[in-house]
Structure 1
Amino acid sequence: MQILRACDLSFSYDYTLFENLNLSLNTGESTAILGVSGCGKSTLLHILSTLLKPKSGEVIYNEKSLYKLSENELTKIRRLEFGIIFQAHYLFKGFSAFENIELASILSGLNIDENLVKQLKIEQILNQKVGEISGGQQQRVSIARVLSKKPKIIFADEPTGNLDKQTASEVMDVLSRYIKENNASLVLVTHDNDIASRCDYAFRLENKKLITR
């Protein structure tokens, strides 16, 4: 079932990144977006997740045009239904890994998923301050934080970019399992063809358009 679709999206700064772009996401499925640096992949992800408004076009989520909603309505959707994994982790460095994950759970009214913590192999670092653990560990904590609130759509910007090949594969296992078990959706930006091949669909952002890979 379709859960989100982009309709004729366009965005530009001093130059046009993309125009009249269309994309749809279905529940229980994953989509990868590839492309060279600077082509607009992250910008597109930010528009789909309501962090950046398009110059023109619409993003429809559960038959609601997101950019016609109030900021309060958008904030509620981001908090309860969307999960965003950034390249920068945006963790609270003075807090422990557990406290960072717990905060997201509290905001969504859910408990921390201990099975998820084990799948991401971070149970041994939960009591450590985020500033004391490696970048790869921080990335896994940030993924646990996002998934703990049980989002309906996960938007991921290079979620495995700071991980070694083995850990990246394990993280993709976790994300794939999550969307199947929760009938959720995943859209991710990546430079890694191997990661893209793990998704149900893959597109390349090229010459201002999305092209089927």
Structure 2
Amino acid sequence: MNNDVLEFNEVWKTYRMGSEDIQALRGVSLTVNSSSFIAIMGPSGSGKSTLLHLAGILDTPTKGTVLLNGKNIKEYSQDEQANLRRANIGFVFQRFNLMPQLTALENVMLPMISQDSGKAKKLLDKVGLSDKYNRYHTQLSGGEQQRVSIARALANDPSLLLADEPTGELDTENAMIIMELLQELNQNDGLTIVGVTHNPLSAKYADEVITMQDGNIIS
């Protein structure tokens, strides 16, 4: 059985900016094994977020192949890509992206294929928010909002969690709480995690740290 969740083979990504071609990725090759926790570091413009967008099937490569669970993402139709994202991939964002008109519980239920409030409560319990079901985002700290977003990312039992600067808006104490939570999800639940971060303290929670620069993996 193939143990690879994600595989990048000589992946290039080119964006057109006016009359100029911007090479966001330059022949990147990378394998992400099941149940691994990988942190991607590098300066702004190094290609970290582009790599994450390709991993989440939010974009497709200009050249090369991205395989998700052994299949080239270009072979999926747009509808299939959307269904795959919803059923197999959880996303955690820097700015939390919670719906302000919804409670914590309703935010977690939002992406669920079946609207299951019992499951949503269990997920909030899992991230330490059993007393915050009915709070709105303005009633939650930044760290609590990010924990709600992690619970929401787990709503459909994904095999892969993608985190884009998950501690970027948080103080050091809350950042460490979030990284410890992600580490627990990886080690205890076997969840495969790929995260982008600028913070070396956050990266230390990962099994492997990959450094990018100018669209290349340099270490």
Aligned to 1:43: 50
Counterpart of 2:177 (choices 123, 145, 170) is 170
Aligned to 1:23: 30
Return 5+ residue gaps in structure 2 as ranges: 16-20
Report the Cα offset of residue 114 of structure 1. 4.5
CA displacement 1:82-109 (0-9 Å, x = unmatched): 11112232221101111101223x3267
Report the Cα offset of residue 27 of structure 1. 1.1
Distance 1:108 1:23, change over 3 A: farther
Aligned to 1:127: 134
CA displacement 1:170-204 (0-9 Å, x = unmatched): 22222122123333210000001111121111111
TM-score (norm 2): 0.87
Q: Secondary structure at the match of 2:148?
A: helix
Task: Assess if the C-alpha contact under 8 Å between 1:79 and 1:108 holds in 2.
Answer: no
TM-score (norm 1): 0.90
Q: Secondary structure at the match of 1:188?
A: strand
- Take 1:109 and 1:133, find their aligned partners in 2: how far apart are those partners? 23
What code does the residue aligned with 2:193 have?
L
Equivalent pairs: percent with the same residue? Answer: 33
RMSD: 1.9
- Take 2:178 and 2:123, find their aligned partners in 1: how far apart are those partners? 11
Q: How many residues align?
A: 211
- Take 1:135 and 1:173, find their aligned partners in 2: how far apart are those partners? 16
CA displacement 1:40-90 (0-9 Å, x = unmatched): 211110011110122111111121111211112111110111111122322
What code does the residue aligned with 2:8 have?
A
Task: Assess if the C-alpha contact under 8 Å between 2:47 and 2:216 holds in 1.
Answer: no
What code does the residue aligned with 1:5 have?
E
